[in-house]
Structure 1
Amino acid sequence: MNEQPSKTNKPWYRRGTVRALAPLSVVAVIAGGAALAPSLASATPSLPAVSAQQLLAKVASSKVDAFSGTMSLSTDLGLPQLPDLSGTANPFSLLSGTHTLQVAANGPDQQRIALLDQLSEYDLIHNGTKFWTYDSETNTVEEGTTAAHAGTKAEKSAKSGANKQYPELTPQAAAQQLLTNLSPTTQVSVGTPRTVAGHSAYLLVLTPKQSGSLIGQAEISVDSATGTPLGVTIYPVGSSTPLFDLSFSSVSLTAPSASRFEFTAPKGATVTPFGSNEKGTGTSAKGQPTEQSLNPEVLGTSWLSIAELHNVNLAQLQQAVSGAGSSVTSGSNNSPNSDGGSSQLTGGAVSGYLNSLLGGGANVSGKFGSGKVFTTNVISVLITNDGRVFLGAVTPKVLEADANAQGSK
């Protein structure tokens, strides 16, 4: 991982699009892409037989919290082909295709993770009581301390996120979320061993017993020596193509150098306090919804869990889309290999793509009122006319039933 990142995208860990990725695996289990290249998971090692319960215990007893490596993230949410974004990191690229991340951790107090693209990089660094984010596309830094972030709901969230055992968006964190929410509605079994990032690994398979879920099964690759999760893959019902695949392509299960967690703002970078762009009203500086204003709630149980968001409507989403398209245009102008014309085409393509999605959907009505439902083979979304959004890895029938149970506002 570069100590001084060069060029990057908008903060991936706070984007609605990116934050929706992990929830898809997690929504399925809270519930509880494209295929990996052969180099990430190949060969069949000879390992002693274990039962599902023994493998669960092995993962639970794993003590590895210091590691570093490179990960591959693949997503396939069943959406139409994204427009060509010229290799520049942006909020929409993570909705499909394969992306590279680098990670380093030494316990819960030293963590670093970076999202890499051809022309960009975004870093989140946590070292003791201090943490930073660096966006190379805008050459901006946000900094804070865990002691200073202990008041508001958003600040408590930032503090708890910085102190988790594993960095967000790693196989360990994804597996932890899956296994924490196991229930009798999940069949647990052991699959064929595999080799992941040069490590022999057992395969733990989680299969939902409930009908109405769009998730066919989840697989966790577990290091045979340490019990550390090395990869998590989620498959839709009836498909061999993952909707979510996060696996190490290379990894060292030893403590990284302390210098990996040091950070100095690059020359000329704009440095601001963490979260200073969020107002007390719960809306961002651009007027777009935040987690606080959306007030998310979890409905349903196990594999049929869904999320309910508030204070959202189609007009608001379309306005956000237009703003996002503009940000891609302006951000692309910073690219050394871009020109203004191609940047404007890219921004227009993204805006047009999402406007097309929001313009589709089927009109529905019920006890929740009226609205539109959108669905792919891995996710369903209901946007009501009274400003709520229901979404989850469930069929539209399940989604509408939960919305009916909530009634109208």
Structure 2
Amino acid sequence: MTENDSTTTTSSPLRRGGVRALAPLSVVAIVATGAALAPQFASAAPTLPPISPQNLLVKAAESNVTAYSGTVSLTTNIGLPALPDMSSGANPLSLLSGTHTLQVAANGPQKQRIALLDTMSEYDLVHNGTQVWLYDSEHNSVEHGSADHNTLTSGDHAKQDAKAKAEQLAKAPLTPQQAAQQLLAAITPTTGVTVDGTQSVAGRAAYTLVITPKQKGSLIGKVTIAIDYQNGAPLQVAIYPAGSGTPAFEVGFTSVSFSAPSDAQFNFTPPKGATVQELNGAGSKGTRGGEANGMNSESLAPQVLGKDWLTVVELHGVDLNALAKGAGSLSDPGQRDKHSNATGLFNGDPSTYIDTLLGAGTPVSGAFGSGKLYTTDFLSVLITNDGRLFVGSVTPSLLKADAAAQGMK
């Protein structure tokens, strides 16, 4: 038996600021699925010594697991229309919905490998020191970059690109460790924390930590994190919409070893006949939609509104017509080849899917002006006619209020 009636809200050793991390997870979510994975993970609940929420947080904070390898199952179900078959093989875009299998390995912050597996193909992201590799087996294509983090200069676009790839790989919530790190680092007085029994994940005994928002207006009902009894490592993370028993996002090990993987797992040599493209500032900006019709991270000027569980992200210069036009251009094979670069992420016809997304919004107006509102039980998105986009795991009324407040500035 474990304690399930104690709550801690303020003195967590993991408290390091607001729940800013929930925005990227929500949008995993956007950068960053139907069925819950519980049947794959669960077995008889082990009997473990009781532990308080505070002590379990300490156990997780003091965990020093930096080396592991195993198989991860990742499920996303944020209420978007079913994705079309944009590619016949492993495809990072597919992580926006459905259940997927990944092979993962890490040995410290400088050695990481994630392989998205499909029946007949895989997509690999490899970070080994200053080297970053992305490999698409279906198209036998490779992207490569080298980033010396100590000598990187602002004018070295190729190294900046490679450095960004490595940082994105390290932060993406594609493993339980990465997802839990963002969530646990965000515990504030607006968060309730309890221990709700035990569970077995990938054959390992774990406590179940439950994080609950206290702020009204959040669409997130709770977050559960399985904490390994022996080493305190996160084994599984699930984010539930309010009032739902089905996770909107769930990532967890189905098998895991905490022994250091061999260095061979992080060495990558392009296969024979592979097309190799060096990452560079000019070419990679247009890769996989990084700069669509003039929209990029700089022009969008992201701004964080609200705090904690009510965090909302505002983007600027979002043009629905340009998005629809861009999707239409990708329906043409010649344009797909031009924009998809080496990885071929736009195989198939995405225009119908984009049209479905854009057409699903509800026309709204208010102090923020007018635009379209898109809602699921996990996300609210408002795109105004003047090119602003607001997104967060908050109620539509709260999202519109944030947009109105911004419009009055």
The Cα of 1:359 is off from its aligned counterpart by: 1.1
Cα deviation digits, residues 247-275 of structure 1 (max 9, x gap): 01111011001100001111222222224
* Shift in CA distance, 160/191, structure 1 to aligned 2, threshold 3 Å: farther
Whole-angstrom distance in 2 between the partners of 1:243 and 1:328? 36
1:364 aligns with 2:368: no
The 8 Å contact of residues 60 and 232 in structure 2, kept in 1 or not, is answered as yes
TM-score normalised to structure 1 length: 0.82
| Aligned partner of 1:200 among 183, 200, 205 | 205
1:54 aligns with 2:75: no
| Aligned partner of 1:151 among 130, 149, 154 | 154
The 8 Å contact of residues 91 and 116 in structure 2, kept in 1 or not, is answered as no
Whole-angstrom distance in 2 between the partners of 1:213 and 1:402? 13
What corresponds to 2:175 in structure 1?
170
The 8 Å contact of residues 68 and 252 in structure 1, kept in 2 or not, is answered as yes
TM-score normalised to structure 2 length: 0.82
SS of match in other structure, 1:193 = strand
| Aligned partner of 2:314 among 301, 308, 319 | 308
The Cα of 1:365 is off from its aligned counterpart by: 2.1
The Cα of 1:374 is off from its aligned counterpart by: 0.7
Whole-angstrom distance in 1 between the partners of 2:215 and 2:137? 44
The 8 Å contact of residues 146 and 162 in structure 2, kept in 1 or not, is answered as no
What is the identity, as a one-letter code, of the residue corresponding to 1:128? G
Whole-angstrom distance in 1 between the partners of 2:294 and 2:42? 40
Unpaired segments of 5 or more residues in structure 1? 1-19, 332-343
The Cα of 1:26 is off from its aligned counterpart by: 7.9
Whole-angstrom distance in 2 between the partners of 1:395 and 1:150? 42
Cα deviation digits, residues 312-361 of structure 1 (max 9, x gap): 12112213333555579978xxxxxxxxxxxx9x934x432331221121
* Shift in CA distance, 152/191, structure 1 to aligned 2, threshold 3 Å: farther
Equivalence map 1:357-396=2 (5 Å) = 357-396=357-396
The 8 Å contact of residues 105 and 166 in structure 1, kept in 2 or not, is answered as no
The 8 Å contact of residues 142 and 276 in structure 2, kept in 1 or not, is answered as yes
Equivalence map 1:131-142=2 (5 Å) = 131-142=132-143
SS of match in other structure, 2:65 = coil
Quote the RMSD (CA, aligned, Å): 3.3
Whole-angstrom distance in 2 between the partners of 1:84 and 1:271? 25
1:181 aligns with 2:182: no
The Cα of 1:244 is off from its aligned counterpart by: 0.1
What corresponds to 1:319 in structure 2?
325
The Cα of 1:21 is off from its aligned counterpart by: 9.5
The 8 Å contact of residues 230 and 247 in structure 1, kept in 2 or not, is answered as yes
SS of match in other structure, 2:40 = coil
What is the identity, as a one-letter code, of the residue corresponding to 2:120? L
What corresponds to 1:75 in structure 2?
76
The 8 Å contact of residues 87 and 348 in structure 2, kept in 1 or not, is answered as no
What is the identity, as a one-letter code, of the residue corresponding to 1:151? S
The 8 Å contact of residues 76 and 97 in structure 2, kept in 1 or not, is answered as yes
Whole-angstrom distance in 1 between the partners of 2:69 and 2:335? 34
The 8 Å contact of residues 25 and 234 in structure 1, kept in 2 or not, is answered as no
* Shift in CA distance, 27/287, structure 1 to aligned 2, threshold 3 Å: closer
1:222 aligns with 2:227: yes
Whole-angstrom distance in 2 between the partners of 1:358 and 1:165? 29
Whole-angstrom distance in 2 between the partners of 1:353 and 1:67? 37
What corresponds to 1:245 in structure 2?
250
What percentage of aligned pairs have identical amino acids? 54
The more displaced of 243-252 and 124-133 is: 124-133
Question: How many residue pairs end up in the alignment?
Answer: 373
The Cα of 1:133 is off from its aligned counterpart by: 1.3
Equivalence map 1:324-339=2 (5 Å) = none
The 8 Å contact of residues 113 and 125 in structure 1, kept in 2 or not, is answered as yes
Equivalence map 1:389-404=2 (5 Å) = 389-404=389-404
The 8 Å contact of residues 186 and 206 in structure 1, kept in 2 or not, is answered as yes
